[in-house]
Amino acid sequence: MVLKRIELRNFRNYEKISIDFNDKINILVGDNAQGKTNILESIYVLALTKSHRLLVENNLIKKGCIFCRINGWIDQDEIIKKLEVKISQKEKMVKINNKKVKNFINYISNLNIIMF
């Protein structure tokens, strides 16, 4: 499975950003404190529905906003699947192909990640 595209809305320091990924290798380059780690964290949240850095998920929401959303498109055996994680002050919601998933355990197996 390959992450093809990610879209962030009100996530950390990003109001709105879309990134298309290469199938082979991707390199994030930029000055300090510009959001490179936030992009990696958003991929982690997209995969596992929680942050590896924070216990309080509301801190993922851009300051002054009421929600954040991460959309990702993965290519799984030439089938494109859309994943979505939306976090608000009141709830967290996940969707696969625009259909709400009630049990998060059915969601988290859709995008495998390794972080080191």
Q: What is the pLDDT of residues 4-46, one digit of tens each?
A: 999 999 999 999 999 999 999 999 999 998 999 999 999 999 9
Instruction: Indicate whether 74 belongs to any domain.
Output: yes
Instruction: Indicate whether 38 belongs to any domain.
Output: yes
Instruction: Indicate whether 111 belongs to any domain.
Output: no
The domain of 37 spans 2-106
Question: What CATH number is given to the structural domain containing 40?
Answer: 3.40.50.300
**Total structural domains in the chain?**
1
Instruction: Indicate whether 113 belongs to any domain.
Output: no
Rounded distance between C-alpha atoms, residue 6 and residue 27, angstroms = 15
Instruction: Indicate whether 102 belongs to any domain.
Output: yes
Instruction: Indicate whether 54 belongs to any domain.
Output: yes
pLDDT digits (tens, 9 = 90+) for 35-92: 999 999 999 999 999 998 877 788 999 999 999 999 999 998 899 999 999 999 999 9
